[in-house]
Amino acid sequence: MPANKTPGGLNPPRILFYTGAMPPRSDPSDSTPSSVPRVRTHGDRRTLEFQPGDIQSEMLLSQPDALVLDYARAMMCFALFVPAPRHIVMAGLGGGSLAKFCYRHFPHTRITVLEISAEVIALREAFCVPPDDARLRIVHADAADYLRDAPASCDVILVDGFDAAGMPAALGSAAFYADCRRALRAGGVLAANLLSYDPCHDAMVERIGSAFRGRVCDFPGIAGNNHLLFAVRAGAGDTGLAARRQEGFARRGGLRFGFLNRLLARALVAWLAWRPV
């Protein structure tokens, strides 16, 4: 899809809104195609789902910028490697949790969000995603196409692109991860959200390791079935912050224990939200 095409000229998006309980997955009356996003509001919670019960994103209406899900907090561990990024690129908008948090707590950072679904982009107001400005751009684009043509353009790439069927094949290919490395500046980091039960999980882990020449680490147990990999663009003998931390975390398995890795993510998010900027 062309990188700067906006959804304004497309057919009206199909979206389902629910208040309270949603129809069960087996309800025969719910014949809407699974690619149609569903928005459910129940009390203070608003979720984005493609299938009832499969939560893609969650927001608190009382704190729309807060990170609710474990994996979203864990994605912020990119700041351990790149504390002050100039440009963050996100593959996948969803309910905008990552975009909103970074927009608020990295005020000197430019943020580009790549989202292939017009239906998802149309939900930005429902999920309190700020309008585009000099720092934030939501681009209607295929992330694989966009990053292929953006060498050395960003410091952080967050890959969190899923549809009703899971991660699109284009976002898990060897070519895509090689393009991600080329799109990062020296010392930059890729944070990739994989599902541990995905049949292609092991292959994607291997592809990331190959593309980044082994400069990969993770934090075991940090977010349940979400397996987050952090890959650094660094060469042999690199002594920069990102390279040093990648080596240390890879050697120890993050902080060694799952509960400590989860505490690390929570503490980091709390610090990012508190720190003076």
pLDDT in tens, 60-98: 999 999 999 999 999 999 999 999 999 999 999 999 999
Q: How many residues does the chain have?
A: 277
Place of tokens 């789902």: 49
Strand blocks (E) in 8-95? 16-19, 38-42, 45-49, 55-60, 87-91
The two three-digit tokens of residue 63, written as one number = 């704190």
pTM over 0.95: no
Task: Please give the chain's pLDDT, 277 residues, in tens.
Answer: 333 333 444 445 555 555 554 444 434 444 444 568 899 999 999 999 988 888 899 999 999 999 999 999 999 999 999 999 999 999 999 999 999 999 999 999 999 999 999 999 999 999 999 999 999 999 999 999 999 999 999 999 999 988 777 889 999 999 999 999 999 999 999 999 999 999 999 999 999 999 999 999 999 999 999 999 999 999 878 999 999 999 999 999 999 999 999 999 999 999 999 998 8
Q: Please, what is the end-to-end C-alpha distance for the chain in angstroms?
A: 36
Task: Name the catalytic one among 160, 179, 198, 238.
Answer: 160
Give the DSSP H/E element, type plus range, for residue 115.
strand 110-115
Q: In what order do the strands lie in the sheet with 184-195?
A: 136-140, 110-115, 87-91, 154-159, 184-195, 226-232, 216-218
User: b/e per residue, 48-70, with b = 16+ CB within 10 A?
Assistant: bbbebeebbbbbeeeebbbbbbb
Confirm whether 65 is a catalytic residue: no
